Structure 1
């Protein structure tokens, strides 16, 4: 397993998206929700049949003293594993030499979005079904890139993505949660979507259940959130068009139930 700052032209991750990645919150140099990031990366390597990095190589990604921040505080670490070079066309090399890359930068969350909530839109793009790749964070994110191009309005924080059947799956870079009947829910990701690490922790603790939410029922939910393991939990207060026109409003609760559960797992304040 080689560790490089750059990748050569023939790297399969660059050419084909043949690899996986993780985006990890570091708090004072230590990874948050690391067991879930590690598990998802190793599962992705197994699905793609890429030899996984050693434990020592993975730990070196966050133990390295290459932080650009004078006071570490909060940082974001990105880890990329590609199959490496070789093979002819799409054919994989019989004995690949994977590449492990990592980079970390200082990070500041946006507490205003925790406190005041955000506006989201529904993207026109529909996610394709590929059960083999569902859940893992592979390098081919073109669906997310194309969906993110659908809005430019500065008031829109995220775009919601549905699958071909019109069921809500995720946001462009976050998972989705909703409240109905007092229960917290998140979409099932059996056919497509990325299984986030904060989402995994909440499911493991039994605080959230998996369910289905057709876009046609989105207007009926009691509460709606978008969240991930870096930004934390953003309550959704408005559903808008890509031009910013308000389509639906949700009240901002004085005590946010999902933030109260999720933020302590990340070291963030439980409520704002």
Structure 2
């Protein structure tokens, strides 16, 4: 495999970041996962906006534009002979600090005045199948929304949630596929790498995120498809029970788009006609992307 690091394609074994890169030392960088269909990045404008908005929230200029980023994605996919891929794009603030010499710790923490960002692009093959997901609510709470946590390298809430799933799995059994994270008030935020939605007789319902960033750009695509079809989409404060008792539930997932939620906390939920419709509409959008 080859990765794109700092503007160059390098062999995976040689793809490194310095130990004083701020993403390595402090999680001071942003990242997003992009699905590539037929060599074409899907919903690229939405992904680019997410990355650049996250850089702005952290207070640094990425020193790259959307066209350049896209060209690096396409070069990475081509170098690895992948038509179908999951691509991770990261933009770190770069190296160094600019604090008081009287307090060395602060000298490292305070960002440099003129950062030199580093862009990293990696690509992996897409799984052969994407069956409905089993999901389990975890005690780990989602990080607050004062920074775009879902798009930074500081994803400790997701790491802790996945570790919790592994600890909770019975001996000799696999853990649930995905964790459901709640906020401090017990309201649904989303998965670790997916956004959750459910369907009742009135609407497609998604958790209101407030200041939080959606886990995926796929969420906005699904919302757009539903509204274009005349399906009302309502954001609200929902509990895991609301999802478990829904007529249908699914996740927005970069790997597969619309993916039925098979079970939540051991309770069967599953998809249905609305989930199937949105999945078909998503597939049509993917086909149009391939055509481009």
TM-score bracket for the superposition, by shorter chain length? 0.7 to 0.9
Root mean square deviation, CA, Å: 2.4
Name the counterpart of 2:7.
3
| CA distance in structure 2 between the aligned counterparts of 1:38 and 1:215, rounded to whole angstroms | 31
Could you tell me how far 1:149 is from its partner in structure 2?
0.6
Secondary structure of 1:23 counterpart? strand
Count of residue pairs the alignment pairs up: 256
The Cα shift of 1:132 comes to 3.7
Return the alpha-carbon distance in structure 2 between the equivalents of residues 96 and 27 of structure 1. Answer: 33
Query: How far, CA to CA, are the matches of 2:71 and 2:271 in structure 1?
Result: 41
Q: Tell me: CA distance 1:264–1:184, structure 2 relative to 1, closer, same or farther (3 Å).
A: same
Query: Contact (CA 8 Å) 1:61, 1:79: kept in 2 or not?
Result: no
1:67 and 2:86 are equivalent in the alignment? no
Partners of 2:143 and 2:77 lie apart in 1 by: 39
| Structure 2 equivalent of residue 224 of structure 1 | 249
TM-score normalised by L of structure 1: 0.84
Distance 1:51 1:179, change over 3 A: same
**1:169 offset after TM fit, Å?**
0.6
Q: 1:25 to 1:218 in 2, by over 3 A?
A: closer
1:99 corresponds to: 118
Aligned-pair distance for 1:39?
A: 0.8
For residues 147 and 156 of structure 2, the distance between their equivalents in structure 1, rounded to whole angstroms, comes to: 17
Normalized per residue, the structure richer in helix is 2
Q: TM-score, normalised by structure 2?
A: 0.79
5 Å-filtered alignment, 1:24-35, equals 24-35=34-45
Q: Evaluate the alpha carbon distance shift between residue 130 and residue 250 of structure 1 in structure 2; reply closer, same or farther with a 3 A threshold.
A: closer
TM alignment of 1:69-218, pairs within 5 A:
69-70=80-81, 72-87=82-97, 88-111=107-130, 113=131, 117-133=132-148, 137-152=151-166, 153=169, 154=174, 156-205=176-225, 206=227, 207=231, 208-218=233-243
Most deviating of 216-225 and 3-12: 216-225
CA distance in 2, matches of 1:166, 1:77: 32
